[in-house]
Chains A and B, each alone.
Chain A
Amino acid sequence: MTAARVITDRPAVRDGYSPRLPTVAWMTRRNLVRIVRMPSIMVPMAIMPLFFVIAFTGSFDGISHVPGYPTDDVINWVAAFALLQGSSFAGLGAAGALATDLDNGFIDRLLVSPIRRESILVAPLVYAALRALVPITIVMVAAGIRGAAMPGGVLGVVLAYVGGVGGGVVIGAFGLAVVLRMDDIRAMSVVQTLSFVVMFPSIGQVPLVLLSGWMHSVARINPVTNILRMSRQGFLGPVTWADTWPGLLALAVGTIVFGLWASHELERRNP
């Protein structure tokens, strides 16, 4: 009885391959179950965003006194950066889950099974997107308690979530590619370091007009700047399309480029 139920729970095989959506759903559920079994996984994801909100607003509160700073309360500026950093942990977590599965041979077993290859990559990205909702919500609530404004209304909140979830997915895709390339759980430290290296030279803590020298040049062309501009606009004023589309474009390009790279690395492993 139990065995029969387990078998029918699994996606049916059609045309030699299992169908895409049920496979992705099954693999995502498997990753989510991992969180239920090991709640400690969620601790850094829950604590770090809170720490970012407290530390950025506490330590650098005085920066809002600098002439030209666009808001008189630093939380309105750094909330978007804190939620992007928090959601990056979700992306890293998804890549870490894949690294563990590579390590214990689960991915190799999947590769010899009649499963569509893209499901192996799409499922961790869906998992990253779902996980990202937790730190984003924590940051939004903490920012609200700290007194953040939201003149952009519901649309502003939605775009903050879109930026955070999208950022988590892009970092997840990048992490998958690096993990598959290096085939080693130690690749995680590379992914983590590179993610933070890319995130800091941006408008995370200070607007473009107050940046100087090399930082100004790098932040101006850094795609993270566009994502932050999109996520942040609701905290500073009404939502505009001009501040939205570059962020959406950056997220789409990041997901496609890193997704294709990860797909290429997975193909290389094909038995």
Chain B
Amino acid sequence: MTAAVDIVPEPVQRRPNYRIVVEQGFALARRSVLSTWRTPGAWVPGLVLPLMLAAVYSAQFAQATKLPEFPPVDSFLQYILPASVLQSIAFGAGNAGTDLATDIENGFFDRLMASPVARQSVLVGRIMGAAVFSGLESLTLIIIFLAFGAPVRSGIVGAVAIVIIAALLSVAVGGFGVAVALRTGSPEATQSMFPLTFVFLFVSSAFFPTELMKGWYQSVAQHNPFTFIIDPTRRLVIYGWSWTDVFQAIGVTLLVACVSLGWSYRMYLRRLDVK
């Protein structure tokens, strides 16, 4: 009788599903941030290369800021600030996909699937981790640019807005990497996404105003989604605070995020064989 009482499980207080997903998502995001932090090779290039390119371009194109088509900037460094932040994110967001592909390759993903972990939290955790890390990286970049004489005219609130835009953009770009990782399960294939992001970034208003471009290149750059995100972000840096610019940058980023996360969720279901 006593034994029978012993094996009867205690009544478990059921928590709502969304809470479980959020808690487990946070735990996996923390793991993702820590593992990225412990691998400097994964995040140092994302900080150093945009800084290097910014240093080179600001010295090379200093005279170009005097052209009438150029926006009224203090220096080319101020002009290139949003581009450098986005470039850094392109690196960081790529890591989210590569890390997931590595998890798939080394079997950690399968062990997670075999454990009683909420299915959505695996995706949420990975992408949330990349967003947190991208936010930190962009904050670091803004501080470094400020130290070298490239102020954000919209002040601290503007800088916070740029960090939020950057974090959201890392979710949007990272979603594509995660989708490729889930589709292929190969870190190499996922890494090959990075040059594509770089091409998208180059053919936009990131490094030079579209007003100074010509022909088909100008048309492509003007209609590139990155341009719709970079231009309002740049206006926060050059002109000052504007709700319209903040909403435009966040709105376009969320739109891209919907596409990439939708694709990655589809790939996730395919990998789990849930159709």
Contact = CB atoms under 8 A, between A and B. Distances in A.
Contact of B214 (A61, A213, A214): A61
For the residues of A in contact with B, the DSSP-based class is helix
B213 A59 contact: yes
Contacts of A197: 52
Interface in A13-61: 51, 54-55, 57-61
A210 B63 contact: yes
A58 B213 contact: yes
A133 interface: no
Contacts of B207: 59-60
A201 B56 contact: yes
Contacts of A200: 52-53, 56
For the residues of B in contact with A, the DSSP-based class is helix
A256 interface: no
Contacts, number: 71
Interface string A178-198: 000000000000000100010
A62 interface: yes
Nearest to A48: B195
B208 A55 contact: no
B61 interface: yes
Given A51-B199, A59-B202, A65 B59 contact: no
Interface residues of B, number: 27
Interface string B229-252: 000000000000000000000000
B217 A54 contact: yes
B68 to A, nearest CB: 9
B56 A62 contact: no
A66 B67 contact: yes
Contact of B203 (A59, A60, A62, A214): A59
Contact of B69 (A62, A68, A211, A214): A62
A58 B220 CA distance: 10
Contact of A215 (B49, B56, B214): B56
Contact of B213 (A61, A206, A214): A61
A205 interface: yes
Interface of A: 51, 54-55, 57-63, 65-66, 68, 193, 197, 200-201, 205-206, 210-216
Interface of B: 45, 49, 52-53, 56, 59-64, 66-67, 69, 199, 202-203, 207-209, 211-214, 217-218, 221
Given A61-B213, A66-B67, A215-B59, 16 more contacts: A55-B199, A58-B203, A58-B213, A58-B214, A58-B218, A58-B221, A59-B202, A59-B207, A59-B221, A60-B208, A62-B211, A63-B208, A65-B212, A68-B63, A201-B56, A206-B61
